[in-house]
Structure 1
Amino acid sequence: MGEKLSKEYNPTAVLQEIEDKFQMFQILNENGEVVNEEYDPKLSDEELIELMTRMVYTRILDQRSISLNRQGRLGFYAPTAGQEASQLASHFALEKEDWILPGYRDVPQIVWHGLPLWQAFLFSRGHFVGNQAPEGVNVLAPQIIIGAQYVQTAGVALGLKKRGKKNVAITYTGDGGSSQGDFYEGINFAGAFKAPAIFIVQNNQYAISTPRDVQTAAKTIAQKGIAAGIPCIQVDGMDALAVYVATRDARERAINGEGPTLIETVCYRYGPHTMSGDDPTRYRTTDIDNEWAAKDPIVRFRNYLEGKGLWSEAKETEVIERAKDEIKEAIKKADEAPKQKVTDLISNMYEEMPQNLQEQYEIYKAKESK
């Protein structure tokens, strides 16, 4: 009987060695203090203020969207509070010509990329106009099928490469999405063809009610990129500067022909998974909620900017009031959109309708004309 495998060949030891190398990247601590000076991106004062503005605005958008949903004025809605740094700081590192393939929680990114807010509201209502991005706004409609956007992103990124574009395709999913087959297929395909893609997993700790620690045996979600042979990093998702730097660097590698990157942003969603009946109090404790509330991305960034003399209560109030006014106008415009008809769904799907649908189309057309 031979000797047991030595450390360098022992699968358990190799796994442990790899997992030990994954340390969460952070620039701002929970108090908004710089703890990793060498990686400070040195954004201009104007850029810092703009990023904070977007985060505050989006928090108000989330609050108002929840209220509108409860009033029956919105349909499907997935709350975003707690993930502003993960979503908006990653988007802040992009260029206008980059493509975003969002999950259903990632409406803020595509709104800041150019999708009119009133159309985002129509998307929530299931109206087809909500999926019609204006010319020059490089976004796809939020994906409802969990993880499917990862495969699509690999394809879009490869298309950009073949066309010689110096742009990237970026996508988002949650920790639960990283357990889907599409997740692995997407990152593997992009890695094999060195497609300029950025894959972000927003690890908000729960896939609906399933805790992250029973989602996978992996110590980090980031390490899953190793199997696909692509760079991967775990980032403090409540730290806007760290998320920005990780995404900026991933984008630079991508457009330089070095292929995709997998980024895990460790964050938390303060609200339910969606407004469709989920009750987070059934699977989360008050202690856990309070622990993450102390890491709030907006509070952390506010402390940082106030320390630099760039932010104030008055400035934040101004952003909040502007957000409320613009949201009010957007929902009003959404209310004024023509009602969706069955014939719209059929005619939008097919250029040449098959016989059976042509017959149904005529039936519904007659009903709608009455």
Structure 2
Amino acid sequence: MESTAARTPRRSAGTKAGTTGTKRTTSTTKKATGARKTTEPALVQLLTPEGKRVKNAEFDQYVAGITAEELRGLYRDMVLTRRFDAEATSLQRQGELGLWASLLGQEAAQIGSGRALRDDDYVFPTYREHGVAWCRGVDPTNLLGMFRGVNNGGWDPNGNNFHLYTIVIGSQTLHATGYAMGVAKDGADSAVIAYFGDGASSQGDVAEAFTFSAVYNAPVVFFCQNNQWAISEPTEKQSRVPLYQRAQGFGFPGVRVDGNDVLANLAVTKWALERARAGEGPTLVEAFTYRMGAHTTSDDPTRYRGDEERLAWEAKDPILRLRRYLEAADHADEGFFAELETESEALGRRVREAVRAMPDPDHFAIFENVYADGHALVDEERTQFAAYQASFADADGGK
């Protein structure tokens, strides 16, 4: 989808974001050390959970002129992303994938920010940015190939300006910062965006990336999807302040956006990218959202959170929210939704058939490409694993 927002004048690095037209309330809480005042964080929102459009004097301009066709495109992106994500979860449960990290509930944050990017911008994802990958033209089957173990990513990062998935928590923020520093030295008119979660914000790599990006005024946007849980650890046990406020200590702006509002994510990310391209340095965007499912398919969220919390967030579903708006504004009819349902099921079948047609991973590939000239310990481990594999054949009578 093409950008419809006009460029705006430059803002200073110290300009506050996300407070215009947003009510802030103050409350007092008691601590062992005495009373202290806390301020409810500002939240940029353009669509309410009921699908009603609300005004924001600072960010409306970034979605001004957006057409009904573009809005339907955002809805389609979220629906299809959710469909192949659900298919991937089912395939893992059937033993076709080794693992899967679902994005269920985070579609608006990923599609909104992903569609804010220009073709020449560069993305550094974690391992859950399936919606952003969709926006960058990465085929879903390539994502699934990695989780099946048949490739190490399956796409050319330079072909899509979308880096390979990063499993090491938080390290991609340093990669993004270094890349952005290079972009600035090259004088290119593009920006870099790094995705990470609330749990990764506790990593030292992220703090180092913040420091370097601020000092070198790197054109990078740090997009934190705060889905409330770092596996089983809630956000309130990770930080005494809202995550977006951490940016202040490093000398650049931060803003909290309703992560389930695709329009708000589109607008705020466009704003942050414009700052980066204009030479105004980094921005931290905290998309306040929720992970509806498990952290990965190896996780059981019922052991650390209750149904009431999940049900409260289901009422804020990003797809239902945009559908309500489309219907109320007469931007989509039943024919559109029926056609999209057909397309969604076709995508599910294509993904399922493609994964089942993939070869089984080479069991011994794990021992390759570790050392250039080989290593005695790796050789020993390979021999032990070969004997372990052979034991199954022996148990089956050589079959």
- TM bracket (short chain): 0.7 to 0.9
**Letter paired with 2:191:** V
Decide whether the 8 Å contact of 2:96 with 2:355 is kept in 1.
no
Provide the TM-score with structure 1 as the length reference: 0.86
Provide the TM-score with structure 2 as the length reference: 0.80
Change (3 A) 1:344 1:138: farther
Q: Which moved more, 1:97-106 or 1:30-39?
A: 30-39
**Letter paired with 2:325:** Y
Question: Whose helix proportion is higher, 1 or 2?
Answer: 1
Deviation of 1:112 after TM superposition, in Å, equals 2.3
Match of 2:343 in 1: 322
Give runs of aligned pairs for residues 220-259 of structure 1, distance below 5 A: 220-259=242-281
Decide whether the 8 Å contact of 2:114 with 2:131 is kept in 1.
no
**d(CA) in 2 for partners of 1:133, 1:283:** 38
Match of 1:91 in 2: 114
Give the % identical residues: 36
SS at match of 1:23: coil
**Letter paired with 1:226:** Q
C-alpha deviations, 1:292-329, integer Å up to 9, x for none?
Answer: 11111111111111122112343223223213323322
SS at match of 1:136: helix
Q: Which moved more, 1:279-288 or 1:294-303?
A: 279-288
**Letter paired with 1:31:** E
User: Structure 1 residue 24 and structure 2 residue 43: aligned?
Assistant: yes
Decide whether the 8 Å contact of 1:22 with 1:233 is kept in 2.
no
Change (3 A) 1:100 1:67: same
User: Structure 1 residue 186 and structure 2 residue 209: aligned?
Assistant: yes
- Alignment partner for residue 146 of structure 1, among 157, 169, 178? 169
Q: Which runs of 5+ in 1 are unaligned?
A: 1-11
Deviation of 1:286 after TM superposition, in Å, equals 1.8
Change (3 A) 1:193 1:134: closer
Q: Which moved more, 1:197-206 or 1:129-138?
A: 129-138
CA RMSD of aligned residues (A): 2.6
SS at match of 1:74: coil
SS at match of 1:170: strand
Deviation of 1:168 after TM superposition, in Å, equals 1.5
Give runs of aligned pairs for residues 1-370 of structure 1, distance below 5 A: 20=39, 22-36=41-55, 38=57, 39-40=59-60, 41-42=63-64, 43-128=66-151, 130-133=153-156, 136-218=159-241, 220-276=242-298, 278-341=299-362, 353-356=372-375
**Letter paired with 1:82:** G
SS at match of 2:222: strand
Q: Which runs of 5+ in 2 are unaligned?
A: 1-32, 387-399
Decide whether the 8 Å contact of 2:125 with 2:164 is kept in 1.
yes
**d(CA) in 1 for partners of 2:339, 2:205:** 42
**d(CA) in 2 for partners of 1:135, 1:267:** 30
**d(CA) in 1 for partners of 2:276, 2:248:** 17
